Structures are given as C-alpha cells and as structure tokens.
A and B are shown apart, each in its own frame.
Chain A
Amino acid sequence: MEGAFSYAPAIAAFPLVAFVVALVFGKWMPKKGAIAGIAATGASLVFSLWMLAAVASGETYHETLYEWTAGEAASEIGADTIGFSFGILIDPLAALMLVIVSLVAFLVHVFSLGYMNAEGETGLPRYYAGLGLFTFSMLSFVYADNLLMAFMFFELVGLCSFLLIGFWFRTRSAPSAAKKAFLVTRFGDYFFLLGVVAIAATFGTLQFAGDESFVAAAEAAIDDGGQLFGFDAETWVTITGLLVLGGVIGKSAQFPLHTWLPDAMEGPTTVSALIHAATMVAAGVYLVARMFGYYALSPTTLAIIAFIGGFTALFAATMGVVKDDVKQVLAYSTISQYGYMMLGLGVGGYVAGVFHLMNHAFFKALLFLGAGAVIVLMHHEQNMWKMGGLKDKAPVTYYTFLAGALALAGIIPFSGFWSKDEILYDALIVGLEEPLIMAAYAMGLLAVFFTGFYTFRMVFLTFHGEPRSEAAEDPHPVGWSIKLPLIVLGILAVVAGIANLAPVAKLANVDITFLEHWLDGEYGGIDEVTYSAYSELLAYETGVISSEQVTVLIAAGLSLLLAFSGAGLAWKLYSDPEPTAHKERLGSAGTVVEDNYYQDEYQVWLAEGVTLPLARVADRFDQTVIDGTVNGVSTASLFGSSWVKRIQTGIVTNYAALLIAGFIALLLGLGVYGGWF
C-alpha cells in the first residue's frame, strides 16, 4: 500500500477531466460525453477503493498540497500566522465517503445512458459536463483537509446543482426551481461563510485534523476557561458552530431551509439521485460529521442539531404522505431521512449518523433510479395515480425498488432498519436523561410510522393493482444500463446493514460492529478524529430502561412496530386493484399538509412583505441622503469653478502679468519669512 495516497488527487481529477472533455468534445463523441464520464467515475471508484484498502491497512493521509497564501495574522487565541491552503485528508470517514460518492456517481452515469441518451435528449454534453463537475466538487469536498477548502467546494457543489436542476432550461419551472435551490442554499451558505471567517479569526487555523486543527485549539481554549471575543470560550464555539450549521441546514434541506429540495425535482431524475444520495444534500450532513469534534465541544449546538433533525424528520414525512408525484414522495423522504442523520449526530451517535448516511446513499440512489426507470416505463408520466400493475411487467425494477422501499421504511433486516434503529436507540438513551432530546426522539419515532406509510403507498400505487393508464398497460422497455445500476444498488440496500449490526452485537454480545471499529480508527485512523475521541468530548449523560439489552429491544421493537403499522395502513388503504384517494378524510389538516404547511408562502411573504419594504427604505436613503451629499459636493465645486474660470481671459499679456505678480508675491513672501527685510 506504500504510495497509494500519492494518487489521491487523481480521484477528484478524473471527473474534472471528464467535465472538460464532455464540454469541449462531447458534441462529437459517440455517446455525447457519457463514455468519458463513466470512465472517469469508474476510475475514481477504483482509486477510492484503493484508498479504502490503504486506510484499512492502517495508513492515513494528511497533506497540504498547495498553499494559496500564508502570512501574519492576529487571531483571538494568540496564533500569529495563518495559512490558506488546499490539502487532502483521508481518514476512515473520508475514505468511506469517497467510495460512496464515486460509486453512486458511477452508477448514475451508467443509468444516464438509458435514461438520457436513449430518450434523444438535446444538450447531453452539457449534462455530462455538469455531472462531471458535480462529482469533482463533491469528491474534493469530501477529502478537503480544511474548512476553507471545504467551503469552496461546498459552493461549487451548489453551483453544479443549479446547473443540473435547470438542465431543461426551456421549460418554465426548471429554471425557477434551479434559482430557488441556488438562492435558498446560498442563504444558508452566507452563515457558513461567516462561520469560516469567525473560526479563522478566532483560532488562526482552519485545519480539520492534526495538532494545528481548530478543533484542538477550541478544546484547549475551553479548558483554559478564557474569553473569546468577549464570550465564554464555549459560548463562542457554540456561536461559530451554529453559523457553520447554517450552511448545513441549507444544503441538507433541514427545516426551515428545506423548501428548495422538492422543487429541485424539476431536474432529470438521475440528477435527483445524485443530489439526494451522494452529493449536494449529503454534503451538509457530511460536514457535521467531518467537524464533529467541534460540535461535540458544545452540547447546546448538538441539542439544536438533534432537535432540528428530529423535527425535520417528522415534518417532511407528513408532507410525503399526500403527494401524488412519485418523485415528490421521494423528495420529502430525503428531507426526512437527512433529519434522522442530523438527529443521530446531534445525540452524539456519530457512527449511527454516518451509518445512515451510507445506507441512505445506497437506498435513496436506488429509489430515485428506480423512479427514473418507472418514468421511462411510463413514457414520462410521474403521477402515481396513472401507474399501477407494473409489478409483473417490470420485475427487475419492481424487486429492486421494493428492496429500496423496505430499507427506507426501516423493515428488518434491510439496511435502513439497522441505521435508523441505531439513531433512534442513541436518541433514546440520551433522551432518558434530557427531556429536549426525548422530544426529538419522539418526533423521530413518530416519523417512522409516516415513513412506512408513504413508502408503501408509493409502492402499492406504482406497482400493484390494475394499470390505470394506457402507458401503464404497455410500458416502454428498459435496457441493461438501467437495470444494472438498480441491481447493484438493490443488493447494497439489502446487505449494507451488515456493516454495523449494533443491536445484534449488544443482544448476542458478539463483536460485529465493523463500521464502529472502522470509524474508531482501529484499522487505521487519525487520533483526534475518531469515534472514541469524540465520545470523550461529549457531555451527554445516557440512561437505560432497566438494562441495555431491554432498552435495545424496546427501541428496535417500537420502531419496527411503527414501521409495520405504517406499511400495514398503506396496504389496507391502497392495495386494491383500483385504489382510491383517501385525502379528503384528512379534512382541513390534509389541505395544510398538501400545501406544505405554507412554508413557501411564508417565505415569499418574508421576501415580499418584509425584505422588499426594508430594501425600499434603504434604497430611498441611498438615493436621497448618500446621492444628495455626493451631488451637493459636485454642484458646489461646479458653481465655484464657474467664477474662478473668469481669470482666464484668453489675452496672453494678462497671463504674463499674473505670472509676474505671482513671482513677485512669492519673492516678497520669501523675503518676509526668510528675514531679508
């Protein structure tokens, strides 16, 4: 494994090359750039696996590759230099995420062959270039070794999502959705930028790991008990942590900045798969995991993360229940699932959060690609009420989609169950001591019911019953390039849970929590960024109900019971050959949920009713006071000069006279002050 890491930059470089190739030569290439993208992401995948193997053999990599600038700076804790650099940090977390991202990107590229190329889309080079740049940005973000570099690629990820969501820019809705995604996430990123600046100004470093990291500096500052910018060290860490969290909330679509994500369904389904499973949305949660040591220093921030996560999980799940568009259901499930990850990280369940991030990447990519396959089958119909009966006509799509749905709903033994259960278990044991976390846990638990319901409502409406439209009776066939990614992801969605069978480990007392050991750096890791290092920092008390085994059983039993009852309710309501809508039974509550709790409306009102008048007042101030001052100065000088210019008569004798008068005056002046007289 010696020297493996010197090839690390290539992981991100391959997709970048594919981006350039697709953009410049894509028009003349046989598959319009798809081949370049597949080759590049395939190579990235191979290299990522190599990195994974290298980390497993006990090595890690942390190297500054390029320093933009370094200089003297006065930071709050007394460090007198600061450097801004590009560097690579490959530890167990980054290596795992590299594999996930490159795998999903690779499969999405392959799927695109069937989804985009076969449909005779125009602008394919632009599409593949966008995918390449997206993959490049995300991979670079994943192994960024400092916060500034992470921020830059975080922004680039946002730009790529803008480009790809607005891929069909000739429609009305896609450009508007793209703009919304860009602006809403940018609103969060604004706080992130402030956080980056605050951390740099406080600690004089932006490194994630190592002795020089801001995490270590923050820990030392808290131990010193000193003041930072007039606050307690811990309060200041909380403030900066929350500022960075702004970016996370925007990107990971947490309440209240989740509104962009459902609209982002305007993009091609493959792009949705990439955004939701591995890149854009995952970036936010990954950032929390990346700098988990920093958040672990501040119990307040963690509690806020947990509460936002739990609330978002429930909030989004209820909205997913009433949607008719298959992609919309998946969009709300994504918001909800990222809520779970935030809940997991917020209660200190670092392993659980990362585990769910991994499992979700597989089963959500699967579900989105499955939905893409369904859309191809249905001749581009997305309304679930027009589907039905696809079960027998497209068995590969059905069984893989079902595997993803079972994982999403958290049915044992599919992957989603293990990670979601671990998150809920971690939340429960902390919640037994902290009432606020208990509330977050309760919301997360309730969301399990809704998840089971909307997932199986989707499955029943799409695949079961009788065909409800001509397209459903005669589906368009799908090719190998669509089936292959589905099968790969389907297998992963079923088996990925094996990575960390924590409940089994606790009950049977066997050592099978591989992911926990992996993230703990037992195979290879960097000391300060391991699970056990984080656990030492955490200030949470944990409790159990009578004993650990009983608590595990209760947590798992409750979530399974709710998942089954949700799925059962969906089965009861929608498994008819000719299912009917039950929305009117919800009454006025249904209307509120149908309208997404008026989130868009109130945000538009905030913009139009509050920000716009404020901007008008500021504009008036600018027009009158500021411009008035500037114009006044120029008017005065114009008026003065119109008098002074009369000195110029145009008669050369007068000029000579003035010259001489001036000279004499100068002589006299010199004479008087120089003491000649």
Chain B
Amino acid sequence: MIGVEYYVLLSMAVFCIGLVGVLTRRNALTFLMSVELMLNAANINLIAFAFYHGNLTGQVFALFTMALAAAEVAVGLGIILVLYRNFRDVDVTVPTTMRW
C-alpha cells in the first residue's frame, strides 16, 4: 500500500513540469502538451484521493477532466492550425496583435 503523499508528490512533479513547459517553451504544440501534463497532474490527485477516501467521486471527476481535455485539444489544435495559416509559424510569441 503506497501512501497518498507519494501520489501527491508525483502529481506536483508532473504539474511543475507542465508549468515550466508553458512558461518557457515557445512552440504552440509543446505548449498544448504541457497543458495536458498539468491536467493529468490534477487527475492523479483526484484519483489518489478518491482511492484514499474510498469513494468514486474523484474518479468520476477524472473521467470528466479527460473528456474536457479531449475537447480542449481539439479546440487548441484548431487554433494552432489557424495560427500556422496566418503566421507560417507555431511560435506563440509571434502573434501579439490581439491586444489593445
């Protein structure tokens, strides 16, 4: 029986990897993958605590999160496609015109 604190540590590690990816990478695809990592970190947390408490609510939420992540990826890929069509590049620092 592995203690819940290890799951939390794993989840934290995965989340931080994702966070660093979001903050440092410029490629939009890497960006999207980093976001996926962060979402999965949250899933690990949910399932770990669901298991720890012995009810299924956390697992159900994890399922919802996956569905949401799938939708998010679909939309994100669409945006990336449009980004590429307009700028011939997938660097997120290039399109800065959508501000004031």
B97, B98, B100: the one contacting A645 at CB < 8 Å is B100
Q: Are B100 and A651 in contact (CB under 8 A)?
A: no
B93 interface residue (CB < 8 Å to A): yes
Residues of A621-668 contacting chain B, CB below 8 A: 645, 648-653, 656-657, 660
Interface of chain A, helix or strand or loop or mixed? helix
Contact A650/B92 with A656-B22, A656-B23, A660-B19 known, Cβ cut-off 8 Å: no
Q: Are A653 and B100 in contact (CB under 8 A)?
A: no
How many residues of chain B get a CB closer than 8 Å to chain A's CBs? 13
Q: How far is it, in angstroms, between the C-alpha of A650 and the C-alpha of B92 when the chains are bound?
A: 10
Q: Are B99 and A650 in contact (CB under 8 A)?
A: yes
Output the least CB separation between B70 and chain A (Å): 21
Interface of chain B, helix or strand or loop or mixed? loop
> What are 25 A-B contacts defined by CB distance under 8 Å?
A645-B100, A648-B99, A648-B100, A649-B96, A649-B99, A650-B95, A650-B96, A650-B97, A650-B98, A650-B99, A651-B92, A651-B93, A651-B96, A652-B31, A652-B92, A653-B22, A653-B23, A653-B26, A653-B92, A653-B93, A656-B22, A656-B23, A657-B23, A660-B19, A660-B23
Q: How far is it, in angstroms, between the C-alpha of A649 and the C-alpha of B22 when the chains are bound?
A: 16
Q: How far is it, in angstroms, between the C-alpha of A649 and the C-alpha of B100 when the chains are bound?
A: 9
How many residues of chain A get a CB closer than 8 Å to chain B's CBs? 10
B residues at A contact (CB < 8 Å): 19, 22-23, 26, 31, 92-93, 95-100
List, in ascending order, chain A residues with CB within 8 A of B31's CB. Answer: 652
Q: How far is it, in angstroms, between the C-alpha of A454 and the C-alpha of B23 when the chains are bound?
A: 102
Closest to B99 in A: A650
Q: How far is it, in angstroms, between the C-alpha of A645 and the C-alpha of B99 when the chains are bound?
A: 9
Q: How far is it, in angstroms, between the C-alpha of A649 and the C-alpha of B99 when the chains are bound?
A: 7
List, in ascending order, chain B residues with CB within 8 A of A651's CB. Answer: 92-93, 96
List, in ascending order, chain B residues with CB within 8 A of A656's CB. Answer: 22-23
Q: How far is it, in angstroms, between the C-alpha of A645 and the C-alpha of B26 when the chains are bound?
A: 23
Closest to B95 in A: A650
Closest to B24 in A: A653
The 3 closest A-B pairs by CB, nearest first: A650-B96, A650-B99, A648-B99
Q: How far is it, in angstroms, between the C-alpha of A656 and the C-alpha of B95 when the chains are bound?
A: 15
List, in ascending order, chain A residues with CB within 8 A of B22's CB. Answer: 653, 656
Q: How far is it, in angstroms, between the C-alpha of A499 and the C-alpha of B1 when the chains are bound?
A: 118
Closest to B19 in A: A660
Q: How far is it, in angstroms, between the C-alpha of A673 and the C-alpha of B97 when the chains are bound?
A: 40
Output the least CB separation between A169 and chain B (Å): 55
Closest to A656 in B: B22
